[in-house]
Amino acid sequence: ALKAGDDGVKVTVIGTGWVGLTTAAVFAFLGNDVIGYDVNEKLIEELRAGRVPFFEPHLEELTREGLANRRLSFTTDIGAALSTAEIIFLAVGTPPAPDGRGVEMSFVSRAATVIGENLRPGKLRVVVNKSTVPVGSNGWVDSFIRQGLAQQGDAGPVDFVVASNPEFLREGSAIADTLYPDRVVIGATDARAIEALTRLYHPILTQDFTPPSFLPRPAGRGKVPLVVVDPVTAELIKYAANAFLATKISFINEIANLCDFVGANVKDVARGIGLDHRIGEAFLNAGIGWGGSCFPKDVIALIREAEAYGYEAKLLKAAYEVNAAQRFVVIRKLQEVLKTVRGKTIGILGLAFKPNTDDLRGAPALDIIRKLGELGAIVRAYDPVAMHRCRAEVPDLPASYANDIYNLATGADALVLVTEWEEFTQANWADIARLMRTPVVIDGRNALNKKYLEGLGFVYRGVGV
Ligand code: NAD
User: Do 135 and 95 touch, CB atoms closer than 8 A?
Assistant: no
User: Do 198 and 190 touch, CB atoms closer than 8 A?
Assistant: no
Statement to judge: residues 204 and 253 lie in one domain:
no
Query: Where does a domain end: 301, 325, 349?
Result: 325
ipTM of the complex: 0.99
Statement to judge: residues 131 and 71 lie in one domain:
yes
Statement to judge: residues 91 and 219 lie in one domain:
yes
> Which residues are catalytically annotated?
294
Provide the pLDDT for residue 208: 95
Statement to judge: residues 184 and 216 lie in one domain:
yes
Cα dihedral 307, 312, 313, 317 sign: positive
- List the chain pLDDT tens, one digit each, 465 residues: 444 446 799 999 999 999 999 999 999 999 999 999 999 999 999 999 999 999 999 999 999 999 999 999 999 999 999 999 999 999 999 998 888 778 999 999 999 999 999 999 999 999 999 999 999 999 999 999 999 999 988 778 899 999 999 999 999 999 999 999 999 999 999 999 999 999 999 999 999 999 999 999 999 889 999 999 999 999 999 999 999 999 999 999 999 999 999 999 999 999 999 999 999 999 999 999 999 989 999 999 999 999 999 999 999 999 999 999 999 999 999 999 999 999 999 999 999 999 999 999 999 999 999 999 999 999 999 999 999 999 999 999 999 999 999 999 999 999 999 999 999 999 999 999 999 999 999 999 999 999 999 999 999 999 999
CA–CA separation, 153 vs 117, rounded Å?
10
Beta bridge partner(s), residue 443 = 417
Domain assignment of residue 3, yes or no: no
115 Cβ below 6 A of ligand 1: no
- Please tell me the total count of domains within the chain: 3
pLDDT tens digits, 58-88: 999 999 999 999 999 999 999 999 999 999 9
Statement to judge: residues 14 and 151 lie in one domain:
yes
Domain containing 98 equals 10-228
User: Do 18 and 292 touch, CB atoms closer than 8 A?
Assistant: no
DSSP for 286-346, please give it: -SS---TTTHHHHHHHHHHHHHHTT---HHHHHHHHHHHHHTTHHHHHHHHHHS--TT-EE
Provide the pLDDT for residue 405: 98
Domain assignment of residue 93, yes or no: yes
43 Cβ below 6 A of ligand 1: yes
Phi, psi of 30 (to 5 degrees): -85, 5
Domain assignment of residue 167, yes or no: yes
Domain assignment of residue 186, yes or no: yes
Statement to judge: residues 212 and 88 lie in one domain:
yes
19 Cβ below 6 A of ligand 1: yes
CA of 21 relative to ligand 1 center, distance in Å: 9
Query: Where does a domain end: 228, 248, 276?
Result: 228
User: Do 235 and 166 touch, CB atoms closer than 8 A?
Assistant: yes
Statement to judge: residues 348 and 367 lie in one domain:
yes
Query: Where does a domain end: 325, 352, 378?
Result: 325
- Read off the CATH number of the domain in which 57 is found: 3.40.50.720
Statement to judge: residues 321 and 331 lie in one domain:
no
pLDDT tens digits, 390-415: 999 999 999 999 999 999 999 999 99
DSSP for 32-54, please give it: -EEEEE-S-HHHHHHHHTT--SS
Q: Which atom of ligand 1 is nearest to the CA of 359?
A: 41
CA of 130 relative to ligand 1 center, distance in Å: 9
Provide the pLDDT for residue 98: 86
DSSP code for 264: -
Feature table: binding site for NAD(+) = 38, 94, 132, 171, 297, 361
Give, using CA atoms, the residue closest to atom 28 of ligand 1.
93
- Return the H-helix or E-strand segment holding 253: helix 231-262
Domain assignment of residue 272, yes or no: yes
131 Cβ below 6 A of ligand 1: yes
Statement to judge: residues 222 and 259 lie in one domain:
no
- Read off the CATH number of the domain in which 314 is found: 1.10.1040.10
Statement to judge: residues 202 and 262 lie in one domain:
no
CA of 201 relative to ligand 1 center, distance in Å: 21
Statement to judge: residues 207 and 305 lie in one domain:
no
pTM over 0.90: yes
Domain assignment of residue 1, yes or no: no
40 Cβ below 6 A of ligand 1: yes
Domain assignment of residue 5, yes or no: no
Statement to judge: residues 115 and 142 lie in one domain:
yes
Q: Where are the beta strands (DSSP E) in 135-178?
A: 160-164
Domain assignment of residue 276, yes or no: yes
Provide the pLDDT for residue 100: 74
Mutate to test the pocket of ligand 1, among 16, 63, 92 (most ligand atoms within 8 A of CB): 92
